[in-house]
Amino acid sequence: MEKETPQGLWTNEANDHLNSLVPKTPIDRRGFIAAAIAAGFAVAAEPVLAQAIKTSMDGLEGGDIKIGDIPAYYAVKKGSGKRPVIMVIAEVFGLHEYQKDMCRRLAKAGYFAVANDPFFRIGDLSKVADIKEVIASANKLTDEQAFADLDTVLAWAGKQKRANTGKLGVTGMCRGGRMVWMYTAHQKKVDAAVSWYGSLMPIPPAMPQGPLDVTDKIHAPVLGLYAGADQGIPQEHVDRLRAGLHAFGKDKKSPIHVYPNVPHGFHADYRPTYRKAEAEDGWKRMLAWFRKNGVA
């Protein structure tokens, strides 16, 4: 249930973030922030655990770039020839190390992967230490602006000699997972998408619609990967998503897989919510989904 606070409108997704990001044992707050900044992770997502995966740039080219005024990051294997494109849509913390590593992992798998910071006009949310402030700020971004920026990134990718936007996939976690559904309803060039525990409800006033409201517009196959113990996205919402997809004959092309007894953020290897077995299984499912739907 949504409720108003002095900081603005909050959602179950926000409450789940607050629960999952609070450290279980006391930490040196100042030391943590310094370490997180040095490692490139969002400082509000404490603690950054030693389990965090670091994919090297060996054999890859890419890095931080600007697409117009949009901060972005890309990675692709060195060599010649065009690669299918995967757009990685950032979670609520924006373009931090986790999103960049997603690009490197996808590049190692044979893709031209690119991610942008959706929130850069609001500020660098990866450097904001207060999770409530992070979410309240992120909630100001309208879908229209997010769509426009993603379209700009897509247009940029279409001009790169190593990128084949004729084979286009989209993926994202959490807030990015929500945008996967929304962008697939918006952008008809998307060939396949994978949403990791993306929230399904509106976040007014900036986002008056959610994925449950656009199931009739989903034109490309989307694989939904959800968590059975997600306190911010109850099974009821997932069931409503399935029903909405079924109502418009899209459920067979867009299946939903729920991992029982795992929390929201189970793929986020830098957080305590990480569940290795489910994260690795979901990654395999994602790559297989893109291959099955021609993004390979």
The model's pLDDT over 214-243, given as tens digits with 9 standing for 90+, comes to 999 999 999 999 999 999 999 999 999 999
pLDDT band at 124 (very low <50, low <70, confident <90, very high): very high
Taking residues 50-72, report their average pLDDT. Answer: 96
Answer whether 46's CB lies under 8 Å from 30's CB: no
pLDDT cut 70: percent of the chain above it? 86
Taking residues 236-261, report their average pLDDT. Answer: 97
The CATH number that applies at residue 124 is 3.40.50.1820
Sign of the torsion angle spanned by Cα atoms 227, 229, 234, 238: positive
pLDDT of residue 29: 53
Read off the pLDDT of residues 1-48 as tens digits, 9 standing for 90 and up: 333 232 233 344 444 444 444 444 444 555 545 556 666 888 887 667
Collapse the DSSP code of 254 into the 3-class scheme (helix H, G, I; strand E, B; otherwise coil) and give the result.
Answer: coil
Q: Which residue has the tokens 């739907």?
A: 293
Whether 173 shows a pLDDT value over 50: the answer reads yes
Q: Which residues are catalytically annotated?
A: 174, 230, 264
pLDDT of residue 284: 98
The β-bridge relationship of strands 222-227 and 192-196 is parallel
Domain count, the chain: 1
pLDDT band at 51 (very low <50, low <70, confident <90, very high): confident
Taking residues 263-277, report their average pLDDT. Answer: 95
pLDDT of residue 45: 77
Amino acid making up residue 207: M
Sign of the torsion angle spanned by Cα atoms 24, 27, 29, 32: negative
Question: What are the start-end ranges of the E strands in the chain?
Answer: 3-5, 8-10, 60-67, 70-77, 83-89, 112-116, 163-173, 192-196, 222-227, 256-259
pLDDT cut 90: percent of the chain above it? 83
**Domain ranges, residue 96:** 3-292
Averaged confidence pLDDT in the chain: 89
Task: Please state, in angstroms and rounded to a whole number, the distance separating the CA atoms of residues 167 and 86.
Answer: 9
Task: Please state, in angstroms and rounded to a whole number, the distance separating the CA atoms of residues 176 and 53.
Answer: 19
Answer whether 141's CB lies under 8 Å from 206's CB: yes
